[in-house]
Structure 1
Amino acid sequence: MSNISIIIEERPADIGNFLVGRLLPFRSKRMVGPFAFIDHMGPANLNEYQNIDIGPHPHIGLSTLTYLFEGAIMHRDTLGMKVEIAPGQVNWMTAGKGIVHSERTPEYLRHTDKKLHGLQIWVALPKDLEQMEPTFFHANAEDIPTWEHEGLHYKLIAGSVFGKQSPVPVYSDLYFFEIKTEKRQTIKIGEELFGETALYILEGTVESEGNIYEPKRILVAKNSSLCEFVMEAGTTVYIFGGEPLPEERFIYWNFVSSDPALIEQAKLNWQAGNFPVIDGEGDLVPLPPVTPGLKPKN
């Protein structure tokens, strides 16, 4: 019997002036542990006239994790942060009761050819922290734990696993880590994992119980303790998951909450201009059309 419960393929999604591959949420799997949203950005070759310009937009009830493989993004927010994220670094922004940020191509790259490739992830906050004060944390590439074991290359981007801990200040029991291999290998890590687990194939191929899986797919495990698979040479995967939050989460646009009333209030606050503002940035992203019943984001 297969240990894979669901296979999720990337679906195209337009985030304004940029097309991404959406992975979570999925119609039959809204979350994996506390992970509520994953977009795969690129890989994209942008010319001198193409830039990322996602204007100021709000979040509540979650932490965002931005992780790049190529390119650069300038992050600005209403805490006063102005931080460029480069490949291998981690931006971890916790919205709590409300934050506004923008994401743009850095000024020095705006008139050149460039690349962009990375992951954007939302992690839902525990119920008692959904209204916490917003915070921001940036980790340089050298701050992220990396190690080798039996010919495999590991990087622990967030959370705790294998007796190691990332410096990223997460708020629930979770893990998000990378495995790379230069040769075909069988990976047996189930005894190290907990909660719900999923595997994202960035490049290469993964074999599980005789089935071959190609990139741009998430494989969701039925039982994390039985996590075993084969990685072909030149494969990179990201394994993520953790303990599920006990309450259902609702998602509307950039808002995540266990309480629909908080989402409704956030909508009103954004339309009324009651969120904080980023100095010098006026191209606010408008609230999308209201969807009755707070149908989760696809």
Structure 2
Amino acid sequence: MSNTKLIIEERAANIGNFLVGRLLPFRQKRMVGPFIFIDHMGPVKLNEKDNLDVNMHPHIGISTLTFLFEGAIVHRDSIGTEIEITPGAVNWMTAGKGVVHTERTPERLRNSTKRLHGLQIWVALPLNEEQCEPSFAHVSSEKIPSWENDGVQFKLIAGKAFGKQSPVPVYSSLFFIEIKSSEKKTITIGEHLFGESALYILDGSITSDGHTYESKKLLVAKDSTLCSFEIAANSTIYIFGGEPFKEERFIEWNFVASNKELIEQAKEDWKSNKFPSVPKETDRIPLPEQRRFGG
């Protein structure tokens, strides 16, 4: 694929009851545009004794984007939000100077078998918003721009592209696009993209310049404006990216910042219980001894 700069294989990471596939950050590519962290969560079948229970943990310097394909998660945070996210909707939490949240299986599902599958994404904040006040937005599935072109289904989950704008309140120039096709089609969309871009194959495959790429691979483009490929029948892909930041971003545990001192302060604040708490929650995830994400 002449426009492929890097091919990243999905890597397994354990988060309790099941494995997630880690895509970013990677040693050779820490960010794509403002996107700094992407996990493919599931698909997993949980029995009546297994539930998602991610206790209180903090973030700084990012917005988190949760997008589910199957299942449901109850989100609670230190801003006072309590909401259930279901497939097709977007939870967008902006940490700014600091937020704490939990993620749990809803009570109505805890004693039954259920499935969970989705993407969890971190988008770094621009320098002037790194220390903003935390906020939260939930955008229902019917408000996400969706359209069809030549039998191919498109969704603009976040950002701007194709002359459209998602209602998700982003802080920088970016795009996060879902493309589905039940038939083999040729797709040429480079004119609608900008900055850096990457393509994640969730299901199916794509072919470009005689090379076929299967599911669970992330392809980073050399030039987003040259994005053209053939999508196989019954395939689902995600294209994301945008304008990269001029300043480097550092990442340690759940903290992202352009200044390492901000991360060190956040670590001390979490250890000394200076972050705000989440209503109805008592259990906290302790600060790991040393944990940096990456390939």
Once the two structures are overlaid, the 10-residue window that deviates more, 60-69 or 147-156, is 147-156
Partner amino acid, structure 2, of 1:272: S
Contact 1:63 1:123 in 2 (8 A): yes
1:68-117 Cα distance to aligned partner (Å, 9 max, x none): 00000000000110000000000000000000000000011000000000
RMSD of equivalent CA atoms: 1.0
Counterpart of 2:43? Answer: 43
> TM-score, with normalisation over the residues of structure 2?
0.98
CA distance in 2, matches of 1:53, 1:290: 22
Shift of 1:247: 0.5
Report the 3-state secondary structure (helix = DSSP H, G, I; strand = E; otherwise coil) of the residue aligned with 1:240.
strand
Does residue 284 of the first structure (1) align with residue 284 of the second (2)? yes
Does residue 225 of the first structure (1) align with residue 231 of the second (2)? no
Counterpart of 2:70? Answer: 70
Shift of 1:297: 3.9
CA distance in 2, matches of 1:13, 1:296: 10
CA distance in 1, matches of 2:242, 2:204: 25
Q: How does 1:37-186 map to 2 (within 5 A)?
A: 37-186=37-186
Counterpart of 2:9? Answer: 9
Partner amino acid, structure 2, of 1:40: H
CA distance in 1, matches of 2:15, 2:51: 13
Partner amino acid, structure 2, of 1:171: Y
Contact 1:252 1:297 in 2 (8 A): no
Partner amino acid, structure 1, of 2:155: K
Counterpart of 1:254? Answer: 254
Counterpart of 2:214? Answer: 214
Shift of 1:290: 3.0
CA distance in 2, matches of 1:263, 1:70: 34
Counterpart of 1:32? Answer: 32
Partner amino acid, structure 1, of 2:59: H
1:25-44 Cα distance to aligned partner (Å, 9 max, x none): 01100000000000000110
Structure 1: where are the runs of 5+ without partners? none
Contact 2:39 2:119 in 1 (8 A): yes
Once the two structures are overlaid, the 10-residue window that deviates more, 278-287 or 186-195, is 278-287
Shift of 1:2: 1.1
Partner amino acid, structure 2, of 1:43: P
Shift of 1:17: 3.4
1:12-67 Cα distance to aligned partner (Å, 9 max, x none): 11123331000000110000000000000011011111100000000000000000
Report the 3-state secondary structure (helix = DSSP H, G, I; strand = E; otherwise coil) of the residue aligned with 1:131.
coil
CA distance in 2, matches of 1:297, 1:221: 19
Report the 3-state secondary structure (helix = DSSP H, G, I; strand = E; otherwise coil) of the residue aligned with 1:266.
helix
Counterpart of 2:274? Answer: 274
Structure 2: where are the runs of 5+ without partners? none
Contact 2:32 2:244 in 1 (8 A): yes
> TM-score, with normalisation over the residues of structure 1?
0.97
Report the 3-state secondary structure (helix = DSSP H, G, I; strand = E; otherwise coil) of the residue aligned with 2:132.
coil
Contact 2:77 2:279 in 1 (8 A): no
Contact 1:100 1:278 in 2 (8 A): yes
Partner amino acid, structure 1, of 2:224: S
Contact 1:250 1:296 in 2 (8 A): no
Report the 3-state secondary structure (helix = DSSP H, G, I; strand = E; otherwise coil) of the residue aligned with 1:97.
coil
Counterpart of 2:190? Answer: 190
Shift of 1:283: 1.2
Shift of 1:280: 2.6
Shift of 1:296: 5.0
Contact 2:44 2:116 in 1 (8 A): yes
CA distance in 2, matches of 1:205, 1:284: 40
Contact 1:63 1:94 in 2 (8 A): yes
Contact 1:71 1:86 in 2 (8 A): yes
Once the two structures are overlaid, the 10-residue window that deviates more, 116-125 or 149-158, is 149-158
Partner amino acid, structure 2, of 1:142: E
Partner amino acid, structure 1, of 2:260: P
